[in-house]
Structure formats: structure tokens, C-alpha cells
A = this chain, B = another copy of it.
Amino acid sequence: MAAKGDGGGDPGRGMDLLWGAADRPSRGPKPRLSIDQITRTAVEIADAEGLGAVSMQRIAATFGFTTMSLYRYVPGKAELVALMVDTAIGERPDLDAVPGGWRDRLAQWARQCLRVFTRRPWLLEATSGHRVMGPNELGWMDAALAVLAEAGFTPVEQHDAFLLVAGHVRSVAQYTAGADTLRVDEWSAAVGERLSRHPDRFPAVVAAIQGGGYAKAADEPLEFGLRCLLAGLDELLA
């Protein structure tokens, strides 16, 4: 068992860290590092160079420590990434001050959530797959569920609606994150070349591209989706 992503393992360990149930032992030498420090450094590396640049060696080297020293603070890399995620997501948003009804509050939630993902594109990679939710992430969820509950949705509906909105935000974030790396123009050109060789195989795509369906402002897709979602949710409420 080495290298990456095995998946099997005690989920409790990571959660203890995430939820801060660590009681400092009083025997040995004073630790010269801390989970917080390590996590913050890892986040900085990810911010600057992406999640791929985050390795145990790299983090340790930043402190001038050996790689293995980190394992005194973190059971493994998966747990560290979980910590990074919860740290990077940050405090839950405060939606109480948002003027308007529940629709405006939920839209605001989505916008702020998108901003988090946009600022740190590596969060998309880091949060794909099933994970243990940290307190911050659960806080974000709580904020959204509170809005939905107040609006009058049933618990099941609250959950479904949350999944819907959060999924949309992720989706937009993924779309726009890629648009930074690979210009949409390049993509259109590259695909367009192949497309022109198979003219009748993807007629709708060709038509949409020629109709200008791929040039738009950054947060246009987010707002479009929100309009649809909120309208649909509203209708369901009545």
C-alpha cells in the first residue's frame, strides 16, 4: 500500500483532525510545527501552483523539516487535503443581511460559493469524490439549508435543492476554471478544425458555435442557471 488514492481506511482519524478533537499530550518535546501551520502552507502552495504541486516533501521543505516529520501531525495526505479543503472554503457566509426574499439569499450563497471556487480552482480537484465534510463545509451547507427551510421546503426538498444549487456552482466553477487555462478560442479552434471534417455529425454544436454560443462573460452561466433553478423551486413551492 503506497502511492496514491487507496480509499480504504478508518474515516474516524481524519474526522478527529477536521473537527479538532485533538488533546495536546504533555509528555515529549514541544512540537515545533502545528496542524494549522502545515495546512496553511499546503494551501499556499496549492494557491500558487495548484494541487499537483502539493507534496509532503514540498511542504516539509518549506519548513526546513524532513518529509516524515509531517506524519507526526497528520495521519496521511488524504487527511491533509481534507484539512486544506475545510480551511480554504472558509467561514460560512452570513446571509441574514441580504435584502430580499429567500431567492436572493440563495443566489447570494451561490455567488459567494462560486467566488471561493474561482479563487482556488484546486478546490474542485480536491473536493471531487466522497469526503468527510469539515465544519466549515458543513457550515456552508447549513447556511443554504437554513434559507431553504425558512422558505418552506420540506427536509427532503431542502436537501435536493441544496444538491441542485451546489452542483450548479461546481459546474460553473469547473467551466470557468478551464476557460482560464485553455482559452475558449483555442478550444473552439481546435474542435472546430475536427468539426469541419465531420460536418454532419455534430450539427447542433456547429450551429451553436456559429451562432456565438461560446462567447460570454464569466459569471453569465451562473446567473442563467440561478434564474432557472430559482424559478423552478419557486414554482414547486406553490
Contacts and interface: CB of A to CB of B under 8 A. Distances in A.
Interface of A: 4-7, 11-12, 15, 19, 50, 52, 124-125, 128-130, 132-133, 135, 138-139, 141-146, 149, 154-161, 163-164, 166-168, 170-172, 174-175, 177-178, 181-182, 190-191, 194, 198, 201-205, 207-214, 216, 220-221, 224-225, 227-233, 235-236
A103 to B, nearest CB: 12
Given A4-B52, A5-B52, A177-B130, A213 B158 contact: yes
Please tell me how many copies of the chain the complex holds.
2
Nearest to A158: B208
Contacts of A172: 163, 167
A47 to B, nearest CB: 16
A164 B228 contact: yes
Given A6-B52, A7-B52, A155-B212, A202 B138 contact: yes
Nearest to A214: B159
A225 B160 contact: yes
Contacts of A232: 227-232, 235
A164 B171 contact: yes
19 contacts: A4-B4, A7-B181, A129-B174, A130-B182, A132-B190, A135-B198, A139-B202, A141-B205, A142-B201, A142-B205, A155-B210, A156-B211, A156-B220, A159-B214, A163-B175, A164-B224, A167-B172, A227-B232, A231-B232
